[in-house]
Structure 1
Amino acid sequence: MAENVIIPNLPWIIAGGMSIGALGLIAWMFTTWLRIKNGYPLDGAWGQAIYPKRDDEAMERIKLLSQENAQLRAELGSIKDRLANVERIVTDSAHSLDREIEQLRGSRSN
């Protein structure tokens, strides 16, 4: 008997659920638009700020991190050069290494 009552009303139940979902989506879009319009930061799923406002402290921190990044890249480049020299020394035959050392000693005594 209960099946007869639910089946004829099934399209109305589905339409009601879809309309409630659509209204919820429209309300969420409206509140997000209001937040953007008034300059509030947007929140992620766990409450973290997605687009936080920029302040001077954050900009200064970004500048310091950029400088440190440049210094580390320069240091990495010099380390790569030194490593290339060590690899060259290790892979060269002992005879050519001895010859280079003797040439360096000879240039010092001149």
Structure 2
Amino acid sequence: MEGFLALMIPIIALSIPIVAIWTKHQQKLAEMNISATADATAEKAAQYASHVSELEQRVRVLERIVTDRGYDISTQIEALRDTRAAEDMDSGVPLQTNREERV
């Protein structure tokens, strides 16, 4: 029994620093993982904020278009249709019925 105890004392004495080193290493790995996750989350949040900002600007423009000068969408759509219809009619080749012949 005394031989066993004499053998265990150095093994335990060497195991304590090994466990301490391993624990410190695990702690550093956990800190690095947390840091990487925080950086990725911050980057995603910045991208999201940028996207939201762009969408807000677009909505502001649309609101300004709709509310400025009593904007009437249906009237303008009809005006565009009338313009296109007139362009389609004018796009033909003009006929010349009075043609002088050269000799």
Range class of TM-score, shorter chain: 0.3 to 0.5
Q: What TM-score, normalized to structure 2?
A: 0.39
Larger Rg: 2
Considering fraction of residues, name the structure with more helix: 2
Q: Which has the higher contact order (CA 8 A, sep 6+)?
A: 1
